[in-house]
Chains A and B, each alone.
Chain A
Amino acid sequence: MSFIAVFIWSYVLWLVLTAGSRGLLWSSQELVAGVIFSAIIAFATRDVIGEKASRFLNPVKWAGFIAYTPVLFWGMVKANLDVAYRVITGRIKPGIVRVPVDLENDAQYTILSNSITLTPGTLTVDACPEEKALYVHWINVTDKEPKSSEVIAGSFEKWARRLGR
């Protein structure tokens, strides 16, 4: 099953990279070569990607990721205006806070900590799945012991829980 997941993923990447070899579409040589190379890659890395990776082949999940993109982009816009303000005025009050989160698997932790790093004034320094917490460097601490990730990340925890399930 993980073989199929890697195969589809690398074949899609191959198609995107070689688009335009016949008009705007693909020539048949490119398609056949893509099948061969994707099969080699999939055979070589099927143990690396893990058995549960095939759950990301679900089209509902892709729709979720597409819906997540503007949310993340808007967070990044706010983050950059925030950093611009702090670079110009130099008004900072940093600290490392412990944020309790309620997530189950590694994919959710990855999505949430990457989103936190890209959005306003926060940087993930350490993630501890054992104690269900993230350690976040916050550039302007307003709440020393947050009870949930609401003050840090807004709605990102809900998104991460849904996308990584």
Chain B
Amino acid sequence: MIEWIIGIFLAIGVFFNLLASVGILRFPDVYTRIHAATKCTTFGTIFIVLATVTYSVYSYYWIQKDPAWITIGIHSALVVIFLVLTNPVGAHAIGRAARKSGIAPYGAVIDELEGKL
């Protein structure tokens, strides 16, 4: 039972991380690649950490009453909070730097930032 839950979480996480890599290969320019890289890696990592948390809580209650299991769970949950807070800021910085150095979005139907930065 618990193996199935953890397995499903890991499968979702790895699938979205794989999707991010495929997206980086398939998309045409830097902005669309940032789309794939930011959203999918954040989401996939949330599910991988969710699997870790599930496993640590399960181990604490049914295998061995050792607080170290709870520590593992809490620390991984903190990692995911920091990742969700910092990942979009990094994406924003890369996108803004790319636009400032004059890279036009590929196949753009509209570009409001043309000549502004």
B-binding residues in A (CB < 8 A): 16-17, 19-21, 23-24, 76-77, 79-80, 83-84, 86-87, 90, 92-98, 113-114, 117-118, 121, 123-126, 135, 137, 139, 141, 144
Contacts and interface: CB of A to CB of B under 8 A. Distances in A.
B76 interface: no
B113 A87 contact: no
Interface in B18-67: 19, 22-23, 26-29, 31-32, 34-36, 38-40, 42-43, 46, 67
B78 interface: yes
Contact of A87 (B26, B31, B95): B26
A121 B23 CA distance: 13
A78 B32 CA distance: 17
Interface of B: 16, 19, 22-23, 26-29, 31-32, 34-36, 38-40, 42-43, 46, 67-68, 70-71, 74-75, 78, 84-85, 87-89, 91-92, 95-96, 99, 105-113, 117
Contacts of B74: 16-17, 19-20
Nearest to B99: A125
B35 A95 contact: no
Contacts of B112: 96-98, 135
A28 B34 CA distance: 46
A117 B92 CA distance: 8
A144 B96 CA distance: 20
Contacts of B34: 123
B86 to A, nearest CB: 9
A126 B110 contact: no
A139 B106 CA distance: 11
Nearest to B75: A17
A20 B67 contact: yes
A86 to B, nearest CB: 8
A89 to B, nearest CB: 10
B64 to A, nearest CB: 14
A125 B113 contact: yes
Nearest to B21: A87
